[in-house]
Structure 1
Amino acid sequence: MKKAYIVEAKRTPVGKARGCFARTRADDLLIHAIQSVLSAADSTQQVNNNIDDIVVGCAMPEGPQGLNVARISTLLAGLPDSTPAYTLNRFCSSGLQSVANAAEQVKSGSADLVIAAGVESMSSVPMMGFKPSVNPKVLEDENIAIAYGMGITAEKVVEKYNISREAQDEFAYNSHQKAILANNNGLFEEEISPITTNETTYS
């Protein structure tokens, strides 16, 4: 079995709710990410013509991030129309699943070069989508997890492992402090690709 390697990794900055990307299309963010990773890897036209697949994870593939957003963004990023692309959905782990799928494609020998990505704009698509219609049967058993959001999931984890509120708050606080420190020390500069939207550049 072949080994899979990450050649380059780029991401857009992250905005808060109703923040800097509230009026930016999700597919435009994805286009920017694809173009950024190709640029960072010094990709040539020959390489671009030989990308075997593009895999994109999206939890709510509707509206501006629907209609196989992977394929649309691939073409708008300037890649040839011979480049295949597909969108997958595993809710919160959709982006991570795209990386896993890409790695498995390479390791199995079915692909040599794959771009994996994740995209989501909760400003564009509401929680649960535009017209949610959960099968009523899943609501009959509280242990069927698909019917519930991460808030209830967190409550179940707290109950199962007896995690105190104080421990959660301490962990969250320390996590934020580490992120701020890393950002202030420039540790994210190589992975974040600045993007200009609505006449403002964010990094």
Structure 2
Amino acid sequence: MQQACIVDAVRLPRARIGKTGSKYSELRPVDMLKPLFKALTSRQPIETSLVDDVILGCNTQVDGQGANIAKTAALYAGWSDSVSGATVNRFCCSGLDAINIAASKIKSGMSDIVVAGGVEQISQVPMFKDKGDWFSNLKVMRATRFMHMGLSADLIACHLGFSREQLDAYALRSHQRATNAAELNYFSKSLVPIEENALAIDNAVRPEATSAQFEALPVAFAEALEQAKPALAAAGLEGIECRHSAGSSPALVDGAS
């Protein structure tokens, strides 16, 4: 069995989405990926025709993220026509799974060089815009017991005994670690800013956040829980409480790797 190893890693600084969009809102998803493909070829002097495959994870594959964006982005960046491309969807784990698939192809001997990563431009292609039956068709939703991920997080937290205070503390520690890593330039080698864009570092991290600020945030999914109570009761899942807030929930960002 061949050994799989990561030769290089590049990504855009993550752009937080606010009321007016993000720093990348005026771009197309392929424009977010293009500088990353360019960076790889400048940092690793290899003919792109030798790359066996490009595998990208993408959750919402419609509009600018549709039509196999992995293949489209490789061509758009000027890579060889011979490079294959595949776009995978495992929801929030799509990019990670793209890397796992790439490693599996190399270890099995199917491929020698694979580029893997992901892209999501939520400011332009919002979650659920693909209108899949799992979350837009009531019959399918009921048959498959669909539950919104925020409500699922509260369900798991209650089931495993995590308190609101523990969730806030964990989230705050995550922001502190990310801030510390940025200050120590741990990300400097992997970050590739878009030239015409002023964003040079992640702007989704809250470096000044405090535990008091996190504690003051309202719970995030109270309305969803209220609507779901009859279904939860029917499934024997009573006693669920809202424990996550905006502080302990992942920020919506535009990004690519």
Cα 1:26–1:179 shift into 2, 3 Å: same
SS in 1 for 2:115: strand
SS in 1 for 2:8: coil
CA deviation after TM superposition for structure 1 residue 23, in Å = 1.6
Residue 119 of structure 1: aligned partner: 119
TM-score by length of 1: 0.90
Q: Matches of 1:70 and 1:6 in 2, distance apart? A: 19
- Per-residue CA deviations over 1:44-67 (Å, capped at 9, x if unaligned) read 33xx11110110100001111111
Q: Where do residues 18-167 of structure 1 align in structure 2 (5 Å cutoff)?
A: 18-41=21-44, 43-45=45-47, 48-133=48-133, 134-140=136-142, 144=145, 147-167=146-166
Cα 1:91–1:37 shift into 2, 3 Å: same
- Per-residue CA deviations over 1:45-103 (Å, capped at 9, x if unaligned) read 3xx11110110100001111111101110101111111111111111000001000000
Residue 176 of structure 2: aligned partner: 177
Q: Aligned residues: percent identity?
A: 34
Q: Matches of 1:130 and 1:124 in 2, distance apart? A: 12
What amino acid sits opposite 1:70 in the alignment?
Answer: A
What amino acid sits opposite 1:59 in the alignment?
Answer: N
Q: Matches of 2:117 and 2:31 in 1, distance apart? A: 13
Q: Matches of 2:115 and 2:130 in 1, distance apart? A: 29
CA deviation after TM superposition for structure 1 residue 115, in Å = 0.2
What amino acid sits opposite 1:154 in the alignment?
Answer: A
SS in 1 for 2:120: coil
Any conservation in 1 of the 2:30–2:76 contact (CA below 8 Å)? no
Q: Matches of 2:50 and 2:185 in 1, distance apart? A: 34
SS in 1 for 2:54: strand
Cα 1:103–1:130 shift into 2, 3 Å: closer
Residue 188 of structure 1: aligned partner: 187
SS in 2 for 1:118: strand
Q: Matches of 1:187 and 1:4 in 2, distance apart? A: 23
Moved over 3 A (4+): 130-135
- The unaligned stretches of length 5 or more in structure 2 are 201-257
CA deviation after TM superposition for structure 1 residue 127, in Å = 1.7
Q: Over alpha carbons, which structure has the higher Rg?
A: 2
Any conservation in 1 of the 2:61–2:130 contact (CA below 8 Å)? no
Q: Matches of 1:181 and 1:70 in 2, distance apart? A: 33
What amino acid sits opposite 2:2 in the alignment?
Answer: K
Residue 7 of structure 1: aligned partner: 7
SS in 2 for 1:153: helix
Does 2:198 align with 1:201? Answer: yes
SS in 2 for 1:117: strand
Residue-pair matches, total: 195
The Cα RMSD (Å) is: 1.5
What amino acid sits opposite 1:126 in the alignment?
Answer: P
CA deviation after TM superposition for structure 1 residue 158, in Å = 0.7
Between stretches 102-111 and 154-163, larger displacement belongs to 154-163
